[in-house]
Chain A
Amino acid sequence: MSVINAVTCPICGCLCDDIEVTVVNNEVVKVKNGCAVCEAKYMGYKSEHRIRQPLIRKNGELVPVSMDEAVHEAAEILANANYPILYGWSSTNCEAQRIGVELAEEVGGVLDNTAVVCHGPSLMGTQEVGIPTSTLGQIRHRADVIIYWGCNPWSAHPRHLERYTSFTEGRFEDSEWKTYINKVKAAAGRKKVLSAQRVAPKPQRETVGESAVESVVFNKPPETLQKEGRKLIVIDVRKSMTAEMADYFIQVEPNKDYELMQAIRALVKDEELDVDQVAGVPVEYLREVVDVLVNCQFGVIFFGMGLTQSAGKFRNIEVAISLTRDLNARTKFLIMPMRGHFNVAGANIVFAWQSGYAFGVDFSLGYPRYNPGETTSMDVLLRGESDAALVIASDPGATFPKKAIQSLVKHPLIVIDPHMNATAMLGDIVFPSAFVGIEVEGTAYRMDNVPLPLKKVVEPPEGVISDEELLKKILAEVRRIKAQKAKKTAEVA
C-alpha cells in the first residue's frame, strides 16, 4: 500500500494539487481532500466503459484489432484527407497536445479544442480588450469582493471557494467560512421558529413602486454588504446553490447580461440612468452594489457559460472585461474565466506558443491561419467542408449540435478516449487512452494559466498507451505513408 501526496486532480480548471491518494495493488482505494467529482474519477476510472484495445468498424461493428493495424488505418485516413479536423485536446496533457500541433501541421488540418463550445468567446473577448487578471493566489490573499457571474462553482468547480476565494485564509483577508456557517445556522433556526409558530415563510415576489414591475426574485441588499471581510456576490438567471451562499444575489433576466453590465459601467462612471430597472434588476439596487464595488480594496469577477454562451457571446465577455477595466480607475479589480476541463487552458497555451493562435488553427495552406467562424471546427463541420476527423480527450458526440455531428460521421472518424463515450460509439477507428493524472504523468495548466505537474499513481490497463505515445506513432506512420507516396509519384514522373 502506498499513500501518494500532492497529487494534482485531473478534472476541472481548479487543478487542486493537494489530493492524497492511497493505492493498493495498483488500485486506488482512498482519496482524501478531493471534492465529490475528484473522488468519483479516482475511484471510477476502471469502469466497464473502458476501452481495452484498438477497434475498427467492420461491417457496421467495432471489432478489436492490433495497434499496428489501427495506427496504419488512422494514418492512411489522415495522410490522404484534404481537410481533416483534429479536435478535443482538453483532457490530455501538454506533452500530447504538442504532438497534436505537429500532426495537424503535417496533415494540413484544422486544429481546435473544446474552447470552441466553451470559453472560445472569452479568448475572443480578450483579443478585443485584453484582460486584467492574476493568479488565484492573489485572489486568496487580497480579494474582499468576489463576484461569480453566470457560473455555479458549487457544482462545476466545487473547491473553488474553499481554495481560492471566500472560504479561504489569505495574508490580507480572512476566510468567511465561519460567517457563512453562522448564517446557515441562523436561517435554519429561523425556519424552526417559524414552523413551530405554524407560520408559512413570506412569499418571495415583491413589487417595486407603482410600476409593479413583474420582477424576478431578488434579495434586498442586506447589512452584510456593509460588513468587514470578504463579500460574495452572485449574478445568475436563477438562484443556484452558489447564490444561496452569497451575501448578495442579483437575478438577471436570461440573455440580458450585456445590458446589465453596460448599466453597471455607466453607474461606475457616475452617469445617470434614465430607467428604473435594467434586465429585471431595479436600478436603486444596482447603485448600492456599485457602491460596494468602487469602495472595495480588491474585487474580482469569475464568469462562465452564463456569459459566453448566452446572447452576445464574446461581446458579453468584451463588456465584462471593459467593466473590469473601468473599475481599475477607482480600485483594484480583476476578472477570470472559470475554465472547465482540467487542461483546456493548456491546449490554448500550447497551440499559441507553437502557432501563434490559441484555437481554431487551420494549417491547410502550410502555415497557421485563424478566423473564428471560418477556421473553427464547429463551423467547418456545419459547412460540411471537412473530410476526416480525429477526436481526442473530449466528447463532441455529446456536446456538438446535431448538424455538426451528422457532418462528423459522414466521413472517417478516429477517436482516442479512455471510455466508450458518445463520440467513440460513432467512431470508425477507436483507440484506448490512458487517463492523464491517474495512469500517465504530464503537465496541465490551471484556469489561471499556472502550470502544474500531474502524477501517475497506477499503471494503465495492459496494452493501453499514453496519448503522447499514440500520437507519435500515428505521426510517424503518416510521414512514412506520405514519403512513400512522394517516392511513387517521383518514380512515375
Chain B
Amino acid sequence: MTEMLIKNGFVFDPLNGINGEKMDIAIKDGKIVESVNDSRAKKIDATGLTVMPGGVDVHTHIAGAEVNTGRMIRPEDHVKDVVRKTALTRSGTGYSIPSTFVTGYRYSKMGYTTVMNPSMAPLGAKHTHEELNDIPLLDKATFPLLGDWWFVLENLQRDDLEGCARHIAWMMETTKGYAIKIVNPGGLESWGFGRNVHSIDDVVPNFDITPREIVCGLAKVNKMLNLPHTIHLHTNNLGIPGNYVTTLETMKALESVPNDGKPICHITHVQFSSFAGDNWGNMRSAAEEISRYINNHNHMTFDMGQIIFSDTTTMTADGPFEFTLYQLSGHKWVNSDVETETSGGIIPMHYKRTSAVNATQWSIGLELALMVKDPWKIFMTTDHPNAGPFFEYPKIIAWLTSRKARMATLKKCHKKAQKKSLLPSIKRELSLYELAIVTRAGQAKALGLKNKGHLGVGADADVAIYNINPETLDIAKKYITARKAFDSAAYTIKDGEIVVKDGEVVQNVPGRTMWLDVKTTEQLKVDEEMKRKFKDYWTVEYENYPVFDHYVKVPEAIPVKADV
C-alpha cells in the first residue's frame, strides 16, 4: 500500500505528449496512478528538477556466455575499476565488462530502469538467465539468436512460414526470450566452416538459402506471431567499408513485407553499418545516404551504436567479423561457435581520437542521430560494450543536446576525420523532450513495452529525476553540468521504491525478467520425430534444453496471442 507523490517537477513524458509541464506524479503499489492521499503518501519534492520515465536501453550486452568469457579473459579491464562492498551493495569490478551487481548499480545510478540483453545463444540460455538474476535494480529481457538456427534455415528454405513460426514460438518459451535476434544472417552458419556471406543474395553453403530470404521470412513470421518487438537485426557486412550498400539493400528488401504502417524491423547499432568508401584508407560516413532513406521510410527503427573514445571490448555473435578484427589487430581473440544455432567472438578494442577511422565512426553515430528528423526512429545506445561502456551515456547526451560539446570533441579528433565529418554543418540540438524519446519513450515503444517508458496511469512506477532545471539551465551551453546531472540521478525510482538517491544506491530490489508466452493456435508437435531430430542436431537431451521456471528468479510472463 505504499503511496508516493513526486511533487512539482518538470515532467517530460513524450508517449503522453507532456513536454516540461510542471506537474505531480502519483504512485501507488508500484504503478502510476491518477492521484494519492496527500497526507499518507511519501513525498518527493521535485521542484526545479526534471522528471522522466526511467531509462530504457534497447541493446546492451550484459549477461551470458559471451559477456562472461569477455570478463574472464580481461583481468586488465577490471583491475583499474574496483567497487567496494557496502552494507547494502555487493563488491565487484568494471570497466568495459562490469560484473553483474555493478552493472545493475551503475545503470540505476543514471536513472535507467529497463534494459535489453540482445544476444543469447539458446543453448546457453540458462547461463544468460542466471546472470540476469544477479543484475539488481533493473527489469530485463533477452533476445535469443535465431537467424542462423537450423530449424529456421530449413523451414524458410521450404517456404514453410507457419512451421517456422511454431518453432520460434516454442523457442521463445523454451529460452524465456523476448524478441527474434538476427546477426549477420547466413554468415554465422557459413562461419561454422570458416566462411562468410558478403551480400544479401549470397547462398549459405549446405542450406540453399540467402540472407534476404532469412530476414524477410523472419519479418513475416514476427508479424504472424504478433510479437511486441520487431525482428532485431545486425546487418550483413557489418564494420566493412562500403557496407552501407548492404544496409540499404536490406532495408529495401524489407519494403516488400506487409507492414500496416508500423515498423517491421529494428536495425541495431546502425553506425557500424553506415560506412562508405572501399577500404580503411578512404572509408567515410554514409550517414547522409542512410538518413535520407530513413527519413523517407517508416518500416524500420534503429539504434545508434555510438562510439566512445575509450578502451573497451567488442563482443558480438558475428564470429566472422570478430575474426576480421583479430586479423587487423592481432589482439587476443575469442571465437565461440554454438552448435546448430549461432556463433560469437570477442576482441578488446581501443577507440582513439587520433585514429581517423575511429573518429569518423564517432562522427557517423552522431550524424545519423541528428540527420534523422524523427527521434522516434533512432535511439541512443553504444551497443555496450562494443562501441563503448554504457556508463558513458551522459557524454552522448551532451553531444546530442549541445553542438558546443560535440564540436569540442571533434576538434580533438584526427584532422582527416574532422575534414570528412558532417557535424560542422549540423546545428540541431535535441531538446529535453527529444532526449526523453531517444533514451526511454522511443525505445519502450519500439520494444512494445506497454508499461515502460512513460508516466501515464497504469505504467510501472519507474521514474528518473535529474538535477536539471529547464528554466534556468541551458543544457546546450552548460553541457558539463548537464552531463553530471545525467551521470548521477537525483532519484531513481523502481516500482515505486526509491533505489538511488543522489547517485547512491539506497535500496536493493531484484528487478523482473520479462519473457514472451506465445500461444499459437496449433502448438509445435513435440513428437518422437522432433525429439529424434533434436538428438541429431544438439549434444544435449531435449529434456535438458529448456530454461525451467526456477531459472528465472522474478519472472514476468507476457502473454502473446499469435495469428498462427
Chain A contacts to B: CB under 8 angstroms: 5-6, 8, 17-18, 94, 98, 102, 105, 123, 126-138, 140-142, 163-164, 169, 171-172, 297-298, 325, 328-329, 331-332, 334, 348-349, 352-358, 363, 366-370, 443, 445, 449-453
Contacts and interface: CB of A to CB of B under 8 A. Distances in A.
Interface string B529-564: 000000011111111100010010000000000000
A78 B274 CA distance: 56
B296 to A, nearest CB: 42
B41 to A, nearest CB: 33
B339 A128 contact: no
Interface string B63-75: 1010111011111
The 3 closest A-B pairs by CB, nearest first: A137-B339, A356-B93, A332-B194
A354 B333 contact: no
Interface stretch (B126-134, B215-223, B461-469, B499-507): B126-134
Nearest to B127: A451
Given A135-B338, A353-B100, 17 more contacts: A17-B540, A17-B541, A126-B72, A127-B72, A129-B333, A130-B347, A134-B339, A332-B193, A348-B72, A352-B71, A353-B63, A353-B99, A353-B134, A354-B134, A450-B540, A451-B124, A453-B126
B346 interface: yes
A94 B130 contact: yes
A255 B69 CA distance: 29
Interface stretch (B76-84, B173-181, B243-251): B76-84
B192 interface: yes
Given A163-B539, A171-B536, A449 B192 contact: no
A443 B101 CA distance: 21
Interface string B304-345: 000000000000000000010011000111111111100100
B544 A132 contact: no
A127 B193 contact: no
30 contacts: A18-B541, A126-B72, A126-B334, A127-B73, A131-B73, A131-B334, A131-B335, A135-B123, A135-B337, A135-B339, A136-B339, A137-B123, A140-B539, A171-B536, A328-B194, A328-B335, A332-B192, A332-B194, A353-B67, A353-B99, A353-B134, A355-B91, A355-B92, A356-B75, A356-B78, A357-B75, A357-B93, A367-B82, A443-B130, A451-B127
Given A129-B333, A135-B123, A331 B339 contact: no
Nearest to B539: A137
A171 B84 CA distance: 50
Nearest to A349: B68
B472 interface: no
Contacts of B63: 353
A325 B543 CA distance: 36
B85 A366 contact: yes
A452 B85 contact: no
Contact of A355 (B93, B127, B326, B338): B93
Given A332-B194, A357-B75, A138 B337 contact: yes
Contacts of B335: 130-134, 328, 334
B42 interface: no
A356 B67 CA distance: 11
Interface in B488-521: none
A370 B75 contact: yes
Which of B85, B194, B339: most chain A Cβ within 10 A?
A: B339
B438 to A, nearest CB: 30
B206 interface: yes
A128 B332 CA distance: 6
Contacts of A363: 85, 91
A426 B540 CA distance: 39
A6 to B, nearest CB: 4
Contacts of A298: 193-194
A412 B29 CA distance: 50
Contact of B334 (A98, A123, A133, A355): A133
A445 B130 CA distance: 12
B93 to A, nearest CB: 3
Contact of A126 (B73, B79, B340): B73
A18 B92 CA distance: 37
A130 B333 contact: yes
A356 B99 contact: yes
Interface string B107-132: 00000000000000001101100110
B124 A367 contact: no
B92 A133 contact: no
Nearest to A129: B332
B68 A328 contact: no
A452 B73 contact: no
B339 A127 contact: no
A127 B74 contact: yes
A142 B193 contact: yes
A407 to B, nearest CB: 26
Given A5-B543, A132-B335, A354 B326 contact: no
Contacts of B478: none
Contacts of A126: 72-73, 332, 334
A355 B74 CA distance: 12
A328 B323 contact: yes
A169 B535 CA distance: 11
Contacts of A142: 192-193
A67 to B, nearest CB: 25
A449 B75 contact: no
A133 B69 CA distance: 11
Nearest to B125: A451
Contacts of A105: 85, 90-91
A353 B537 CA distance: 29
A130 B73 contact: yes
Nearest to B123: A450
B58 to A, nearest CB: 22
Contact of B91 (A6, A127, A169, A366): A366
Contact of B194 (A6, A140, A331, A452): A331
Given A5-B543, A137-B340, A368 B82 contact: yes
Q: In this complex, which of A123, A136, A325, A370 has the most chain B Cβ atoms within 10 angstroms of its Cβ?
A: A325
Contact of B339 (A94, A141, A358): A141
A163 B535 CA distance: 11
A359 to B, nearest CB: 9
A298 B335 CA distance: 14
